[in-house]
Structure formats: C-alpha cells, structure tokens
C-alpha cells in the first residue's frame, strides 16, 4: 500500500528550530536556498529530518503504549529512536532476507529506517516544510529578566525580616559593584588609547603601569564585595533573542510512504503516529515559552499496490488535540492490521526490541563515547 499526504503546515505559534552547529545570529532558523522561476532566494525552512525525528519519537510512544512495556535495554531504544549508533563496528552487510525479516518484525525500523545493525532505507519520505514567502522570520525572546523583589511587593513581603535587611544590603552592593566595573572599563579604554599612539610620549609607560595597578585594586574590591553577600550580581538582565519562523506562516509540506513492500502495519503505524502527535503537535525549541505549535492540512492520496490507480478519500487535518482522518477502506484495513499485530506481538512476529545479549547496552555506551 502507498500513501501520499500533500498539503501545508501552518505555524500557530513561533517555531524555533536550528542545527546544533548554528552560530548565535542564526539560532532558531535553518536557511535554505530555494529556486523559483530561475531565481534563487533563501528562506527559513523546517528540515525534513527535524520533522521526521518528531514523528519517530511519536511512533515509539504509540508502539510502547500498545505493548504496555518499556525498553529493557538501551540499544533498542537508540535504534528505534535515532536509527542506531552510527559507526558501530558490528554493522552487518546487506542481506535482503534479513532486511525483509527485520521490516516485518519491526514496523518502526521499516517506516523510519536504520543505520545499524544493518542499513535499512525507511519507507517514509519526509519533505522539508518550505514557507510560501521569505518574509516570515520573527525575533523571539526579547525583553529582560527583572528583580521580583523590586517589581512585586508581595515577593519582597515573602522574605523574612532578616532577609529583607540582607536584600537592601544586596542592592547597595550591586550598585557599588556596577560603579567599580564602570571605572575599570574607563581604565581599560585609557590604556588602549595610550597604546594606540603611533609614537609613544614620555610618561606613557608609567601611566599604563599606574592604571594597571588601579585596575588590580578595583578587581580586589569587587571580590571583597562579592564575598560579603550571598548575591553580588545584578538579577535584572536583558534576555537573549533568537530567530524563529513567525506564527501564521504557511509552509508547503508532504509525507510520502511508498515502497515495493510497504505493509498495512506500517501504514497503520503512520496513522497511530499522527494520532500520538495530535496530543501536542509541537516541534522545535522554546516550548516553555509557548513556541512550536503547528497545524497540518493534507490531501490524502492512496493506492492498494504498485500500478493500481491513486484515489483521494479526502483531507487529513492535524493539530493540537485534533486529528481528522478521512474514511477509507484501505486506511481502516491498515489501522486494524496495526492494532492486531501489536495486540499479540509474539504470535504475529513483532519484535521491536531486536533481541540480542544483555551486554549490548555496555557496548552501546562505549560507542556513544567514541562517536562523541
């Protein structure tokens, strides 16, 4: 069975996603070169691997919930969650019969792919979500962290009287530390100005030495002030900002599940995965600040086998606590196949734990250190 979900993802809140190696000014978005009518533009996108990772995690939750179990070893978790530990020495050569057996036993591996113990191409293709406009970047996180005891009288009243006295002392200390730091900054600027002269003047060296000594004295004063207080740093500070795909941005996107041996169980797992995703329907970072929510609206195209005609039973809509799946005999067949397979995994040849000796978690931990 093949299925295509083609449509849009709409950001219902700011979506912040970035690569691990992103520079500070690029954090929150992944820029991709897009060709339109022969013209190249750069747009923020949600990478297919980012969406696939969220789907894969949801698939694991869906399967474990139905099995009523947890992973008893760490290596199967890595294989199902991230495809395994790439670079393991025991990666097996490609064996068609073994691959077919593993696909049949583990729908997670068949749907999303594996890197080890053998390489398996996942049947699910997750395309990049590409905004329809390049004017869709927002700055999030702007503002400042404020001292609650200053802005909220009830917070100050919650302190014991002895701590209120300490708080007033703390305010005086932080002001004094701030003033000393200002003097140190002025000293450093004067030293830099003297050193930048094309020709040194008499007394410059002595002045630099005098300023350096004053700076050391001020540094000692700051250390003394800090040691006398529980807190000697300013609580109120500006918050860092990051980029994000703005709320309301509409992005073209598609999920394509196709292959010569896609099983009904895999299609059923995809439906269960989307159901699990609907519990929250979020992606990316900044979740504690309410970021990452999205909705999806796909046109569903499905066919029973290669060469059979495609038909469209309707639209699939996904959102937070919302999932609408069109009624279709093939989809119902897939849903029943998945639920039946996991209702009695041993009888139906389902094994998402990969088997293997109990020593594998130790080996996995060693491989993590090597990869890191």
The string of pLDDT tens digits covering residues 32-59 is 888 877 888 788 899 999 999 999 999 9
The residue among 176 and 295 whose pLDDT is bigger is 295
pLDDT of 75 reads 86
DSSP string, 312-355: EEEEEEEETTEEE----HHHHHHHHHHHHHHHSTTTTT--SS--
Look over the chain and give the mean of its residue pLDDT values, rounded to a whole number: 84
Give the pLDDT score at 52.
95
Chain segment 81-118, per-residue pLDDT in tens: 888 876 554 555 667 888 888 889 999 999 999 888 78
Total number of domains constituting the chain? 2
Q: Are residues 131 and 271 in the same domain?
A: yes
- 254: confidence class by pLDDT, cuts 50, 70, 90: very high
How far apart are the C-alpha atoms of 227 and 145, rounded to whole Å?
Answer: 24
Residues 219 and 248 both lie in one domain: no
- CA–CA separation, 13 and 294 (whole Å): 7
Residues 84, 15 share a domain: yes
Mean pLDDT confidence for 124-139: 90
Indicate the SS3 state at residue 90. Answer: coil
Question: Is the per-residue pLDDT at 234 higher than 80?
Answer: no
Q: How confident is the model at residue 236 (pLDDT cuts 50, 70, 90)?
A: low
Q: Which two tokens stand for residue 4?
A: 């295509």
Strand segments (E) across 18-101: 30-36, 39-45
Q: Which of 184, 210, 238 is the last residue of a domain?
A: 238
Residue 120 shares a structural domain with residue 254: yes
Q: What does the CA dihedral 211, 214, 219, 224 come to, rounded to 10 degrees?
A: 180
Mean of pLDDT values over 163-188: 85
pLDDT at 293 over 90: yes
Give dist(CA 28, CA 13) in Å, integer: 13
For the ranges 14-18, 277-281, 327-331, the lowest mean pLDDT is seen at: 14-18
Tokens (6 digits) for 108: 């997670």
Q: How confident is the model at residue 267 (pLDDT cuts 50, 70, 90)?
A: very high
Residues 331-355 as b or e (16 or more Cβ within 10 Å = b): beebbebbeebbeebeeeebebbbe
Its domain, for residue 221, covers 146-238
Are 356 and 260 found together in one domain? yes
Q: Kindly state whether residues 165 and 265 are assigned to the same domain.
A: no
329 and 254 together in one domain? yes
Report the share of the chain in percent with pLDDT over 70. Answer: 86
Residue 265, Cβ density class (10 Å: 0-12 exposed, 13-18 middle, ≥19 buried) = buried
18, 244 Cβ separation under 8 angstroms: no
Of 69-78, 135-144, 163-172, 311-320, give the range with the top mean pLDDT: 311-320
Query: The tokens 């609408």 sit on which residue?
Result: 324
What mean pLDDT do residues 155-164 have? 82
Backbone φ, ψ for residue 8 (5° rounding): -135, 155
pLDDT at 239: 67
Confirm if 141 and 289 have CB atoms less than 8 A apart: yes
Length of the chain: 372
What is the pLDDT confidence band of residue 228, given thresholds at 50, 70 and 90? Answer: low
Shared domain for 234 and 248, answered yes or no, is: no
Residue 283 shares a structural domain with residue 345: yes
Alpha-carbon Rg for the chain, nearest whole angstrom, is: 29
Domain end call among 206, 238, 270: 238
**Which of 238, 263, 288 delimits the end of a domain?**
238
> Does one domain contain both 7 and 47?
yes
Domain match, 129 and 250 both = yes
pLDDT of 212 strictly over 70: yes
Its pTM stands at 0.73
pLDDT of residue 361: 37
Contact 83, 34 (CB under 8 A): no
The answer to whether residues 171 and 32 belong to one domain is no
Q: Which residues contact 255 (CB under 8 A, 6 or more apart)?
A: 4, 5, 124, 125, 126, 127, 270, 298
């Amino acid at each position: 069975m093949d299925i295509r979900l083609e449509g849009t993802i709409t950001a219902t809140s700011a979506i912040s996603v970035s690569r691990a190696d992103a520079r500070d000014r690029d954090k929150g978005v992944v820029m991709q070169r897009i060709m339109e009518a022969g013209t190249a533009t750069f747009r923020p996108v949600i990478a297919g691997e980012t969406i696939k990772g969220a789907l894969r995690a949801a698939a694991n939750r869906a399967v474990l919930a139905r099995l009523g179990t947890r992973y008893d070893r760490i290596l199967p978790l890595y294989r199902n969650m991230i495809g395994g530990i790439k670079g393991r020495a025991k990666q097996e050569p490609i064996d068609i019969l073994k691959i077919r057996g593993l696909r049949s036993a583990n729908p997670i591996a068949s749907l999303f792919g594996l890197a080890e113990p053998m390489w398996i191409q996942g049947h699910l293709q997750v395309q990049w979500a590409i905004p329809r406009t390049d004017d869709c970047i927002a700055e999030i996180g702007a503002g400042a962290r404020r001292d609650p005891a200053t802005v909220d009288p009830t917070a100050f009243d919650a302190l014991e009287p002895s701590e209120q006295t300490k708080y007033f002392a703390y305010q005086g200390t932080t002001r004094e530390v701030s003033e000393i730091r200002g003097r140190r900054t002025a000293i450093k600027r004067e030293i830099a100005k003297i050193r930048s002269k094309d020709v040194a003047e008499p007394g410059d060296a002595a002045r630099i030495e005098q300023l350096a000594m004053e700076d050391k004295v001020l540094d000692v004063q700051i250390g003394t002030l800090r040691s006398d207080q529980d807190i000697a740093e300013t609580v109120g500070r500006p918050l860092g900002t990051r980029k994000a795909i703005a709320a309301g941005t509409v992005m073209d996107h598609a999920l394509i599940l196709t292959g010569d041996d896609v099983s009904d169980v895999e299609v059923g797992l995809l439906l269960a995965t989307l159901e699990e995703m609907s519990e929250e329907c979020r992606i990316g970072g900044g979740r504690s600040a309410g970021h990452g929510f999205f909705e999806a609206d796909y046109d569903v195209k499905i066919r029973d086998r290669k060469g059979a005609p495609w038909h469209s039973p309707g639209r699939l809509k996904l959102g937070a606590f919302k999932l609408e799946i069109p009624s279709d005999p093939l989809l119902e067949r897939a849903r029943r196949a998945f639920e039946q397979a996991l209702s009695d995994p041993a009888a139906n040849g389902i094994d998402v734990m990969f088997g293997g000796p109990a020593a594998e978690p130790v080996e996995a931990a060693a491989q993590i250190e090597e990869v890191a």
